Amino acid sequence: MINHNKGTPLDDIAYLIRSEHRAPTLIALTVRPRSRSELWEMTGVSESTIRRTLGEFEEREWVYRDGYQYEATQLGAFIASAMADLIDRVETERKLRDVWRLLPDEDTGFTIEMCSDATVTVADPEDPSGPIARFCSLIEETDRLRFTGLDVAMLDSCKNELCERIVDGMETELINPPRVANYIRSNCPDLFSEALDSGNLDVRLHDELPPFGVSIFDDRIAITGYDREGVTVRVLVDTDDTDARDWAESIFTSHRRKTPILPIEKDL
């Protein structure tokens, strides 16, 4: 029997990531006991490979055999949890890699750590409207929306859904740069008339909003990243992380205190 206590922790990490099936196999065994044939079918590797892997796991005392099934030990579950977190983090980092500079910087109090369990929706050539679609799905599930930094890039793509939800009763407060108010006045006065009449919408103006958007929903918050020209929405990051919500609340509150309600006339 090989003594796997020799070497370094990096050796065990290297062992797990050297073959793509090992970490998923160990993680799967923390969910429930599984047979060797089930793991073989799940991972897509050969039966001899999964047999060898389970033997190596047993030697490390990461799993134990109970009849024809295998289950993770406390040690195995401990390692599997860390690997699952690392995989999730790397998946999030890969999604953010090309757009993270469009998100708030650390000077605002925001950290990438807040994105650890976030849903990241990036616009790409195959799905350029993905972030907008995600935003629309979030407003369908909330009774209250607060948004600061709403840009024309966002508004132009979801104005119908936003107005319908406001008319249906969604309490909404928007803090906009002046160009958004000008856009409303010149491009879609009729569309917003019913929303304004509903009494569910407050609009405020702020001249110095940051180059990103912050949305606060009932159960989640979202950050919108625009391209440098503010023409398109490149990314939407939404999460129920407590620290992220506290950060979003502070950003919105600080802007709200400086911004009076915009008196909008019904005959925009």
List pLDDT tens digits, range 47-90: 999 999 999 999 999 999 999 999 999 999 999 999 999 998 89
| Alpha-carbon distances of 147 from 137, 155, 204, 216, 251, rounded to whole Å | 15, 11, 10, 6, 10
Would the pLDDT of 264 be above 60? no
Q: Work out the burial of residue 257: count CB atoms within 10 Å of its CB; fewer than 13 is exposed, 13-18 middle, 19 or more buried.
A: exposed
Helix/strand/coil for 27: helix
Q: What is the mean pLDDT of the chain?
A: 88
Q: Which residue has the higher pLDDT, 26 or 202?
A: 26
What are the sequence ranges of the domains in the chain? 9-86, 99-257
Two domains, one topology: 9-86 and 99-257: no
- Residue 231 amino acid letter: V
Q: Note the pLDDT of residue 266.
A: 45
pLDDT, mean of residues 139-149: 94
pLDDT, mean of residues 145-164: 83
Q: Does the domain at residues 9-86 carry the CATH identifier 1.10.10.10?
A: yes
Confidence of residue 3 (pLDDT cuts 50, 70, 90): low
Would the pLDDT of 91 be above 50? yes
Q: Note the pLDDT of residue 4.
A: 59
Would the pLDDT of 18 be above 50? yes
How do beta strands 201-205 and 171-176 pair?
Answer: parallel
| Alpha-carbon distances of 128 from 41, 108, 118, 125, rounded to whole Å | 35, 28, 20, 6
Fold (topology level) of 99-257: Endonuclease; Chain A (3.30.870)
Would the pLDDT of 155 be above 80? no
Confidence of residue 121 (pLDDT cuts 50, 70, 90): very high
Q: Note the pLDDT of residue 120.
A: 94
Distance CA 193, CA 248 (A): 29
How do beta strands 119-122 and 171-176 pair?
Answer: unpaired
CB-CB contact of 120 with 91 (8 Å): no
Confidence of residue 267 (pLDDT cuts 50, 70, 90): very low
Q: Note the pLDDT of residue 2.
A: 53
